[in-house]
Structure 1
Amino acid sequence: MVKYNARIASNPYVVGSFACIGGGLFGLDISSMSGVLNNNHYKEQFGFPGPGAQGAIVASMPAGSLLGALTVTQLADRLGRRKTVILAGIFWVIGSILQSASVNRGMLVVGRIISGISVGLSSAVVPIYQSEITAPAIRGRMVSLQQWAITWGILIQYFIQFGCSYIDGVASFRIPWGLQMIPAIVLSLGMLFFPESPRWLFDHGKEDEALQVLADLHGQGDPKHPLVQLEYEEIKQQVYFERTEGAKSYLDLLKPGNPRRVMLGCTLQSWSQLTGMNVMMYYIVYVFEGAGLTGRRSNLIADSVQYVLNVALTIPAIIYIDRWGRRPMLLAGTLAMGFWLYLVGGLQGRFGHWGTLDGKTVWLVENNDSATKAIIVCSYFFVCSFAITMGPVSWTYPAELYSLKIRGKAVALATASNWAFNTALAFAVPPLLDAIGWKTYFIFGTFNFACFIHVFFMFPETVGRSLEEVEEIFKSGHVFTAWKIGRDVGRKDVAGVVQEREHSDEEKGTATPEEKA
C-alpha cells in the first residue's frame, strides 16, 4: 500500500472531501436510471418494463447497497476505513462495466447489484472515515459533504444522460453507464495517498502512526499541539476502556446505553428515505408526466432544474450545519417537506384524473397550465427543503452517535436501514403511483410529520462535541425529553482539559519541567 502524503494530510478539508467521491457514486446511479425511464431505446432493449419490472430494476441497486452496508461492518474494522473505500471503487467499476454491456434485464440487474454493493460500502464507511479524521468544530461540515457529493453525482450524470439522449440507438444509455466508472477509478487510486483513520490505527496497535496522522491533520505536523494531545488522549482512554469491555460483536449493540443510539441512527436513515426524496429523484420523470408536463425534452429540462437546485441548496447546509445544529435542521426540514408534498398531492387530486399516457392508465393533470406549473414549483421547494436540512444531517448525525467499539457496526447498520427502505420504496413506488396516483404524496407527507414528532422528543443535539464527549449526552438520562438537552451537556474546553491534566500531573509529581513552566 502506498504511504499517504503528509502534505495532503495536513489539510483536513482535502482529506475529508476527497472521500466524498464515494457518496457521489450513489448520485450517479440515481440519475443514470431516472434519465432513461422515457428513453425508447432503453425500453426496447429491456422489453418495455412495466411498473413492477421497472421497480425491480431500480430496486436492485439499493438491494446490493443493503448487502454492502452490512458487509462493511466487518471490512471497516478488519481492513481499515481507507482500504474499504478503495474496495468500494473497484466494485463500482465492475458493476458499471456489466451495466453498460448488458443485453437483457438479468445482466442489468446483476450489474446494478454489484454497483449497489459499492454504494453500500462507501455510504457506510465514508462518514465513519470523515468523522474520525476531522476536528469536532468542522465534523458536521465535512460529513455533510457526503450529501453534497450525492447531489453532484445526480446532476453530472443527468446532464450526461441529457446530452446522450440526442444519440440514436442503445449508445444513448450505454455511454453514460460506462462513463460513470471514471470517478470510482479516481477514488480508488487517490485514496492510496490519504491517511488511515487515527482511531482505527490506535485500535490496531499503531499508536505512533495514529499520533502522527492527528498531528498532520490538526496540528500542522506538531504532535505536541494541544488539540492533537487532547484528541490522542481521548482516543487512548476510549480504546483502552473498550478493550476491557469485551469482544467486538453485534451483541455489543445490545449492551446498556447502546440500543437507544442504534435506534436513533437506524430510524433517522429510514426517515430520510420515507421523506420521499429518492422517490422524487428516481421517478421524477413519472411525477412531472403526471403533472401534465408533456414532451421528452421539456421533461428532461424540468428535471435538470430540480437537480441543480438540489446541488445549490446543499451548500448553505454545509456552511452552517455546525452553527445551526442538527435538531433545528431536522425539525424545520420535516415540516417543510410534509407541507410541500401535501400541496403536490392536493393539486394533483383537485385538478387531475385517470387518463392514458403512452398506452398506460395513469393519474394525469391535463390542459391546466397553472396547476402543472404549481406542482412543479412545489416539487422544487420540496427538494430544496430536503437539500438544506435532512440530506446532510442524515449522514452527519449517525456518524456522531457511537463509541469506537460499535461505531463501524452501528453506522453500517444505520446505513443498511437506509438501503432497506430505499429498496422497498424503489420497488413499490411505480405500482403505488399506478394504483392510487395522487394519494401517494399524502403518504410521504404524513411520514415527514411523523418524523418531526420523533425528532422533537428523542433526538438530542450533538453539534460541536468530540466523538468521546457524545458519550456524556446519553448518560444524562433524557430519553423522551431530548429538547431539554442543551448544547453544553458533555462539552469539554480544550484549554481547560489540558490545564486540568497538567495540574493533575503536577500533583502526582509526573509533570516535566517544561510543562510546569
Structure 2
Amino acid sequence: MKLEISRPPGYVLAAGMVSLGGFLNGYDTGSIGAVTEMPYFTSSIGELTPFLRGFTVSLIMLTGAFPSFFAGQLADRFGRLAIVAAGALVFAIGAALEGCANKLAMFLVGRALCGVGEGLWISNITVYITEIAPSARRGMLVSMPQFMANAGICVGYFTCYGSVQTESSFSWRAPYIIQAILGLGLATTPFILPQSPRWLLLNGHRDKAIKELKRLDFSAVEAEKDLLGPAAEQQISARQPGAVEGLTRLFRKPYRKPALLALYVLGVIQLSGIDGVLYYAPTLFAQAGISAKTSSFLASGLSAILMLAISIPAVLFTDSVSRRTNVITGGSILTFCMFTIGTLYASNSVTPQNPARWLVIVLVFIFGLVYSATWGIVGKIYASEIQPAATRSAASSVAQGLGFFTNWIVAIITPVLLANSSFGAYFLFGSICFVSVLVLMVSMPETKGLSLEAIQEAFLVPGTAQRGRVVSLLKRWAGLGGSVPVAAGGTQTTESAVELRDVGGLLTQDAAVSGAQSTSLERGSERSVRA
C-alpha cells in the first residue's frame, strides 16, 4: 500500500513562510539576554551596567515602535509582502552589524536597525495572513506567527546554550549570523508567495485577485463566501485613503470602535507584565530564593520549552474556542497569578525555608504559559480581523506600534519596581489584568468562524440605549439573558434581520444570513464613505 502525502493548501504554505517573521522576533528575544551575559561578548563589547544592559535589550522595541505606526499605510500603497520584504532586508543588515560589532555603539546601531525592520513587518505579516486565510481556518493560521515566536525563543536559548561553549567571539556572534541569513530568506517572499487577494481588490485588480486565489488553493465556495460575494464587494468599494487621511480615518465612524479596541488589545494588555516575566524571569526566581544557577535554567530553558509546547494545542484549537471565552478566562487566570504572588510577598511568606517560594515559581510559570495560550495568540488575531478592509493595515500597524511602546515601558520599569518593592510590581500588573478583563467583557464582540466582512456587522449596527446595555449584560451574567434580534437599520425585516447579541453596545453576530450581510453592509459602506 503506497502512502500518499498531500500538499497543504497554498494559503497554509504562504502563512507558514511569512511566519518566519514571528520566528525571528522570538529568536532575538530568546538570545539577547544570554548574549549579553557571555564572557566573549564582554571582552568584545565591554562590560554593561544594569541600565545599559536594559537599554540594549529593550532598544529593539523602542525603534520598532516608530515604523510600526506607518507600516500599514506603506503596505496599503505598495503591498503587504513588499513591506514585509523591506523590513526583513533592514533587519538582516542590522543583524549583520550586530554580529560584526567590536564596539557597543556599532552593536546598538545594528540593534536599532533590527527594530526598524521588525516594526515594518510585524503587523503586516498578521494582516497578510488574515487576508489570505479562509474564515474557517483563520484563527489557526493567524496564530502561526505567535507560535513561531515561541519556537524562536526556544531555539534562541538553545543556540546560545550550544555556542557559549565556543572559545572565541563566535560564541555570541553566531546567533546574529543566523538572524541575518533568515532575514534574507524572509526578504524573498514577494518573489515566491501570492499577493493578498484582498489588497489587489482594494486597488482595483479583480482579475489578478482571482488568479492569486487559485494559487492559494481557495475553493469556489470559500472564495465566494470570504472574498467575492456581494458583502465583500461592498466592503472593498470604498475609496482608499492617503497616508495622513488613513490615520485620521481610524478615529472617525464607523472605524473608531474597532480601531480603539485593537489599540487596547495590542497595546494596553501588554502592560500585563509578560515582558517582565520573559526578560527578567531569573530575577523573579532569584527573588523567590532560588540559586542563580537553578533560576537561570528554569527561566531560560524550561520556560521556553513549556511555552512552545502549550502553543501547539493553543494554535490547533484556536478556531474551536470562542475568542471571548479565551481572552476573558485567560485574563482572569493572569489576574489571579499576579495578585496571589503579590499577596505572598506582602505577607512576608516567601522565604528560603517556606514552601511558598515554590508556589511563586509555579505561578510565574503558569502566568507565562496562560499568556502564551490565550492573550499572546488571540490578541493579534482579534486586533486584525475586526478591522474593516479600508483600515485594516493602518489600525493593525498603529496598534502594534503602541504594543512596542508598552512592551518597552514594561522592560524598563520592571527592574526598578522589583528593586524598590517585592510585591508592588505584581499588584500593578495584576490590577491592569483585572481592568483589562472587565473592559473586554463589556466591549469585545465574538468573531470566531465569521468572514471578515460579516464581522463588520458587529460594529456597523447601531447600539441600544446605555441602560439597555447594562440590563442585558447583568441578565447574561445571571444566566437569564438571550440573544436580541436587531436589524441593521434599527427595524427588523425579513431580508436584513440578523441575530445579534448586545455586549456593552457592541453587537456580536450569532448567525449571519447572506441577504442580511449584503443589505446591512451596503448601508454601513454608505455611512463609511460619508464619514
Same fold (TM over 0.5): yes
Please list, as runs of the form range in 1=range in 2, the aligned pairs for 1:267-416 lying within 5 A after superposition. Answer: 267-296=264-293, 299-351=296-348, 367-368=352-353, 370-416=355-401
Tell me if the contact between 1:313 and 1:384 (Cα under 8 Å) persists in the aligned partners. Answer: yes
Q: Does the alignment pair 1:421 with 2:406?
A: yes
Tell me if the contact between 2:288 and 2:357 (Cα under 8 Å) persists in the aligned partners. Answer: yes
Selected match of 2:433 from 441, 448, 462: 448
Please list, as runs of the form range in 1=range in 2, the aligned pairs for 1:139-158 lying within 5 A after superposition. Answer: 139-158=138-157
Larger deviation: 372-381 or 230-239?
230-239
When residues 101 and 438 of structure 1 are mapped into structure 2, their CA distance, relative to the original with a 3 A threshold, is: farther
Tell me if the contact between 1:248 and 1:405 (Cα under 8 Å) persists in the aligned partners. Answer: no
**Distance (whole Å) between structure 1 residues aligned to residue 73 and residue 337 of structure 2:** 40
Please list, as runs of the form range in 1=range in 2, the aligned pairs for 1:23-42 lying within 5 A after superposition. Answer: 23-36=22-35, 38-42=37-41
**Distance (whole Å) between structure 2 residues aligned to residue 298 and residue 435 of structure 1:** 21
**Distance (whole Å) between structure 1 residues aligned to residue 27 and residue 212 of structure 2:** 32
Please list, as runs of the form range in 1=range in 2, the aligned pairs for 1:7-406 lying within 5 A after superposition. Answer: 10-36=9-35, 38-43=37-42, 45-220=44-219, 225-230=220-225, 231-233=227-229, 234-242=231-239, 249-296=246-293, 299-351=296-348, 367-368=352-353, 370-406=355-391
Larger deviation: 453-462 or 334-343?
334-343
AA partner of residue 313 (structure 2):
P
AA partner of residue 296 (structure 2):
N
Q: Which has the higher contact order (CA 8 A, sep 6+)?
A: 1
AA partner of residue 224 (structure 2):
Q
When residues 41 and 28 of structure 1 are mapped into structure 2, their CA distance, relative to the original with a 3 A threshold, is: same
Larger deviation: 149-158 or 291-300?
291-300
When residues 9 and 307 of structure 1 are mapped into structure 2, their CA distance, relative to the original with a 3 A threshold, is: closer
Deviation sequence 1:222-255 (CA, Å, 0-9, x none): xxx2332342134433222345999952221122
**Distance (whole Å) between structure 2 residues aligned to residue 497 and residue 193 of structure 1:** 38
When residues 297 and 380 of structure 1 are mapped into structure 2, their CA distance, relative to the original with a 3 A threshold, is: closer
Q: Does the alignment pair 1:489 with 2:488?
A: no
Deviation sequence 1:304-328 (CA, Å, 0-9, x none): 1111111111222212222211111
User: Any stretches of 5+ residues in structure 1 without a counterpart?
Assistant: 1-6, 353-364, 502-517
Deviation sequence 1:120-144 (CA, Å, 0-9, x none): 1221101110111011111111111
SS of the counterpart of 2:238?
A: helix
**Distance (whole Å) between structure 2 residues aligned to residue 380 and residue 278 of structure 1:** 13
When residues 414 and 319 of structure 1 are mapped into structure 2, their CA distance, relative to the original with a 3 A threshold, is: same
Return the offset for 1:178. 2.3
Larger deviation: 97-106 or 440-449?
97-106
Return the offset for 1:339. 1.3
Q: Does the alignment pair 1:467 with 2:466?
A: no
Aligned residue in 2 for 1:359: none
Larger deviation: 371-380 or 393-402?
371-380
AA partner of residue 358 (structure 2):
K
SS of the counterpart of 1:469?
A: helix
**Distance (whole Å) between structure 1 residues aligned to residue 110 and residue 310 of structure 2:** 32
SS of the counterpart of 1:474?
A: helix
Return the offset for 1:173. 1.9
When residues 367 and 43 of structure 1 are mapped into structure 2, their CA distance, relative to the original with a 3 A threshold, is: farther
**Distance (whole Å) between structure 1 residues aligned to residue 294 and residue 285 of structure 2:** 12
When residues 476 and 394 of structure 1 are mapped into structure 2, their CA distance, relative to the original with a 3 A threshold, is: same
AA partner of residue 158 (structure 1):
Y
**Distance (whole Å) between structure 2 residues aligned to residue 121 and residue 245 of structure 1:** 18
Count of residues paired in the alignment: 477
SS of the counterpart of 2:15?
A: helix
Tell me if the contact between 2:127 and 2:384 (Cα under 8 Å) persists in the aligned partners. Answer: yes
AA partner of residue 88 (structure 1):
G
Return the offset for 1:45. 4.7
When residues 261 and 132 of structure 1 are mapped into structure 2, their CA distance, relative to the original with a 3 A threshold, is: same
Deviation sequence 1:112-162 (CA, Å, 0-9, x none): 111111221221101110111011111111111121011011110011111
Tell me if the contact between 1:64 and 1:113 (Cα under 8 Å) persists in the aligned partners. Answer: yes
SS of the counterpart of 1:82?
A: helix
AA partner of residue 281 (structure 1):
L
CA RMSD of aligned residues (A): 2.9
AA partner of residue 340 (structure 2):
L
AA partner of residue 131 (structure 2):
E
Return the offset for 1:451. 0.8
**Distance (whole Å) between structure 1 residues aligned to residue 413 and residue 292 of structure 2:** 26
Return the offset for 1:191. 4.8
Return the offset for 1:280. 0.9
Larger deviation: 8-17 or 85-94?
8-17
Tell me if the contact between 2:16 and 2:144 (Cα under 8 Å) persists in the aligned partners. Answer: yes
Return the offset for 1:170. 3.6
Tell me if the contact between 1:82 and 1:129 (Cα under 8 Å) persists in the aligned partners. Answer: yes
Return the offset for 1:351. 4.9
Deviation sequence 1:369-418 (CA, Å, 0-9, x none): 73443322211111111111101111100111111211111111111110
**Distance (whole Å) between structure 2 residues aligned to residue 33 and residue 438 of structure 1:** 27
Deviation sequence 1:46-85 (CA, Å, 0-9, x none): 5433332222212210012112312312321121011112
SS of the counterpart of 1:489?
A: strand
Aligned-residue sequence identity (percent) comes to 25
**Distance (whole Å) between structure 2 residues aligned to residue 322 and residue 213 of structure 1:** 24
Return the offset for 1:344. 2.9
Larger deviation: 33-42 or 411-420?
33-42
